[in-house]
Structure 1
Amino acid sequence: MSKRAKKNEQAAADEANDNGTEPATKKGKKAKEPEAPILYEDPPDKLTSKDGRAANMKITSWNVDGLRAWVKKKGLDWVRQEDPDVLCLQETKCAEKSLPADITSMPEYPHKYWAGSEDKEGYSGVAMLCKTEPIKVSYGIGKEEHDKEGRVITAEFPSFFLVTAYVPNASRGLVRLDYRKTWDVDFRAYLTDLDKKKPLVLCGDLNVAHQEIDLKNPKGNRKNAGFTPEEREGFSQLLEAGFTDSFRELYPEQTNAYTFWTYMMNARSKNVGWRLDYFLLSAALLPGLCDSKIRNTAMGSDHCPITLHLVV
């Protein structure tokens, strides 16, 4: 989610305020105790598929909300503990020439790939860090109007493609909603074409809470970026094109599982959040799905990381 959108998550902030800790002060009435937040506890990792095969690929995705700040907040310490085979980052907001040495020198990931905005310094940006060298790496989706913002990296591995994306936000006042709708159509076509060659994993900040279960305050956000009917329909069409939301595949009824919380009104401590970060899988990869995790205790950004365990 973009910085501008984050600052204007008014509906989320309103709900955070509604669920806040200020006691009732009406004369003659006892102060109301604040309700305890309902938190999501990430269950133990499942490392085997339904057919009993052991996971052999671990992928982590994290919107870091500024790579340099995230590094200073010890984000890399968490990454080393998590130890994924591939680390995908979004909203790096950092030109390649300005990358911190702490991340460029990481020996754990000898193969590192970066994409940034061509026109705006400190805007957008994605990265992919791999332990094993991909067969091929490409940037963007082949359309200039989208690719200049540095939002997509695709890596080809022997049995699958891995795509990491930072999907455009519709922005305050929905001023970019029409552009977002165009993006959704073009991005879906790009993924569908890839899927014809070999199956894929899509990960990243897709900037949409698909269903009401995917955010704390659906009623108050129907006209806000990330939960408009148009954005939700775009996501639905992506699923209809043959891709599966891995988290909902495994945890279809799980509530209070979010990956983004506005910095305003103590939203994270109250778990007033949104699920904006996803792993989507081609149908051919579903038999190898072991687990799809939300690491909501990891700090360093207004998003938390997510991790996929897969047999490939």
Structure 2
Amino acid sequence: MKIVSWNVNGLKAITKKGALESVLSYDAILLQEIRSSDLPLDLLMSGYNIVSFPAKKKGYSGVMTLVKEKPKSVVKGLNQKEFDEEGRTVTVELSNFYLINAYFPRAGDGLSRLDFKIAFDKKIEEFMDELRKTKPVIICGDFNAVVERRDSSFWDENEPGLSPKEREWMAHILSKGYVDAYRFKNPNKIEYSWRSYRFKWKAMRIDYCIVSEELKDKIKDCKILNIEGSDHYPILLEIDV
């Protein structure tokens, strides 16, 4: 199965650029920061099962999952109002695993939303652990945080995504039986999935596909695709499930 995850930085914008067409062939497509409740015609005609969860606030956040296999069940959000109003997660149950599409909050300039971000981290961890009691879990999306120093082109611990608390949670989740598929397949590679439009020297690997450990040996490949159109690049997970 081939799963692609992409923070598109606006569904309407990415569609107008024609960039979305380049990923409309994979078994599952997970989009973050869609910023819209409207579905473009080409998506409606694509033949995918589509689950959209826009934010309550217009033009902000939101996630969308497109999957060829008809989901056995769908969960929108985490059953917590402050997160769900921002359209942060969509989960589909497939035959052999749960697939979570997640857009983690940004810690904010001056780390003004760090507490909100860490609260979200803990809530989604509980959610993942509960699902995993039934089936393996794959979670892909924009985590808005790095794991290691080498995952960023610059270093400032007051910068969103680089703060100790954010990195501690990333290390924590990977210590309890979840696997960063990209790093598993590319142990020595230095590559980034996001690059600042304004400051070209600012880049980080903050987009991930993380799988529960029981699926580790089924990972065939995980790579960052060189597809332009957003300030993020898509990440592709190929897994034998």
TM-score relative to the length of structure 2 = 0.97
The separation in 1 between residues aligned to 2:129 and 2:175, in whole angstroms, is: 11
Residue 93 (structure 1) aligns with? 35
Listed one character per residue, the Cα deviations across residues 175-214 of structure 1 (whole Å, up to 9, x for unaligned) are 1011111111111111111111110100000000111110
Residue 45 (structure 2) aligns with? 105
Q: CA deviation at 1:288?
A: 0.5
Q: CA deviation at 1:145?
A: 2.3
Letter in 1 for 2:212: S
Q: CA deviation at 1:101?
A: 1.8
The separation in 2 between residues aligned to 1:116 and 1:226, in whole angstroms, is: 23
Contact kept, 8 Å, 1:93 with 1:122, in 2: the verdict is: yes
Q: Tell me, yes or no, if structure 1 residue 294 matches structure 2 residue 224.
A: yes
Residue 239 (structure 2) aligns with? 310
| Sequence identity (%) | 37
Q: CA deviation at 1:60?
A: 0.4
Q: Tell me, yes or no, if structure 1 residue 252 matches structure 2 residue 187.
A: yes
Residue 127 (structure 2) aligns with? 190
Aligned match for 2:170, one of 235, 241, 246: 235
Aligned match for 1:116, one of 47, 50, 54: 54
What's the RMSD between the two structures over aligned residues? 1.2
Contact kept, 8 Å, 1:63 with 1:91, in 2: the verdict is: yes
Contact kept, 8 Å, 1:86 with 1:130, in 2: the verdict is: yes
Q: Tell me which protein shows more strand as a share of its residues.
A: 2
Q: Which is higher, the Rg of structure 1 or of structure 2?
A: 1
Q: CA deviation at 1:282?
A: 0.4
Secondary structure class of the residue paired with 1:102 = helix
The separation in 2 between residues aligned to 1:258 and 1:103, in whole angstroms, is: 28
Q: Name the structure, 1 or 2, with higher relative contact order (CA <8 Å, separation 6+).
A: 1
Listed one character per residue, the Cα deviations across residues 107-142 of structure 1 (whole Å, up to 9, x for unaligned) are 3x2x10100112x10110000011111111111112
Contact kept, 8 Å, 1:67 with 1:91, in 2: the verdict is: yes
Contact kept, 8 Å, 2:69 with 2:94, in 1: the verdict is: no
Secondary structure class of the residue paired with 1:264 = coil
Contact kept, 8 Å, 1:192 with 1:241, in 2: the verdict is: no
Residue 263 (structure 1) aligns with? 197
Contact kept, 8 Å, 1:153 with 1:165, in 2: the verdict is: yes
Secondary structure class of the residue paired with 2:102 = strand
Contact kept, 8 Å, 2:32 with 2:141, in 1: the verdict is: yes
Structure 2: which 5+ runs fail to align? none
Structure 1: which 5+ runs fail to align? 1-56
Query: Could you list the runs of 4 or more consecutive aligned residues of structure 1 that deviate by over 4 angstroms after TM superposition?
Result: none
TM-score relative to the length of structure 1 = 0.75
Listed one character per residue, the Cα deviations across residues 137-157 of structure 1 (whole Å, up to 9, x for unaligned) are 111112222111111000111
Residue 26 (structure 2) aligns with? 84
